[in-house]
Amino acid sequence: MNRSFCIAPMMRRTDRHFRYMCSLLTKETILFTEMVHANAINRNEPAKFLDNSKISNSTVLQLGGSDPLELGKAVLEANEHNFSEINLNLGCPSSKVQSGNFGAVLMKDVNLVKECLSEMICNSKKEISVKIRLGVDNFDVENDLTFFMKELINVGIKTFYVHARIAILQGLDPKENRTIPPLNYQRVLRLKKEFHDSNIIINGGIHNFEKAREEFKSLDGIMIGRAAYDSPYKLVNIDQMYFKSNKHAVSLIKVIERMFSYINDLNVNEQSKAKFHMLNLFKGLIDAKKSRILLLNGSNNEEIKNELLSIIHFNENQVA
């Protein structure tokens, strides 16, 4: 799997509707689901959390949890759906996640992590990967991180998505943990030299896609989070930029038409979620505010679509 460009798992963002929209913009980008707790899959209707049927891109299911048996059971369910890889979240710093003993706090218990991963590997038809931080709290980002990764490699992990900063579990909220402490890209670059047989994908604070391609060319890929969600139409150039595709970028008009064809097959509640993910498609255009009002408040999908297409046509005429 070519992981040159990946879109990070983001709660309440990378649901199946946003992933579908991304699949219209880029065919090669690796997409991640939101983090799904293993118990949510095992105690409910699995398809509610695992539906990825309309998305052609390689997709990674990210699981949360710390019970090896529950994670193994969730992986068995995931085998029946079209995911290319299954990822264990070892990087989320939120207090709610900590209280459930999963996410970044698990980096403090490497033996439990190994038990979880071993069970997942035994049950999975697909590769199991991890998303980690450089450490947590007083973690030594040199020695402790090296030890942690060696232990995971020993149980069969080959792919690491690395958020390039430590997680501070006490005193900082998740938003602050996206900016504090400073990013340490150099440590991630050294990880690749240290573990050259592993796949190392860097995450954290990347906004300039073209610059990142050069800056991190020694790694196996980059992972983009909010920069992709906040300006999704920038993804139209990714296949050419990162995957050497010779196909023409899809027009915004085509994206809107295909999104509404998709939306019309959803129930009313799901339609609202899908339209919400479209808000940032119009960022930077004249009448972008009008597009947001239409998507948030409009009730007739055909009228909304036609108004949005008119906004695009108007902007194109202004450029011409």
pLDDT of residue 178: 67
The mean pLDDT of 44-73, rounded to a whole number, is: 96
pTM: 0.95
Instruction: Please name the residue ranges forming H helices in 79-199.
Output: 95-99, 110-123, 143-154, 185-194
End-to-end CA distance of the chain, in Å? 40
pLDDT digits (tens, 9 = 90+) for 12-39: 999 999 999 999 999 999 999 999 999 9
The region of weakest confidence among 11-20, 29-38, 97-106, 165-174 is: 165-174
CB under 8 Å to 161, separation ≥6 — which residues? 6, 8, 87, 129, 130, 131, 132, 201, 203, 223
Q: What is the DSSP letter of 249?
A: P
Domain 5-243 is found in CATH 3.40.50.300: no
pLDDT digits (tens, 9 = 90+) for 124-161: 999 999 999 999 999 999 999 999 999 999 999 999 99
Cα–Cα dist 104/97, whole Å = 8
**3-state DSSP assignment of residue 87:** strand
Cα–Cα dist 101/65, whole Å = 7
Q: Is 12 left (phi over 0), alpha (psi -120 to 50) or beta?
A: left
Active site residue 92: yes
Residues of each domain in the chain carrying CATH 3.20.20.70: 5-243
Given the residues 6, 92, 116, 122, select the one marked as catalytic: 92
Cα–Cα dist 68/66, whole Å = 6
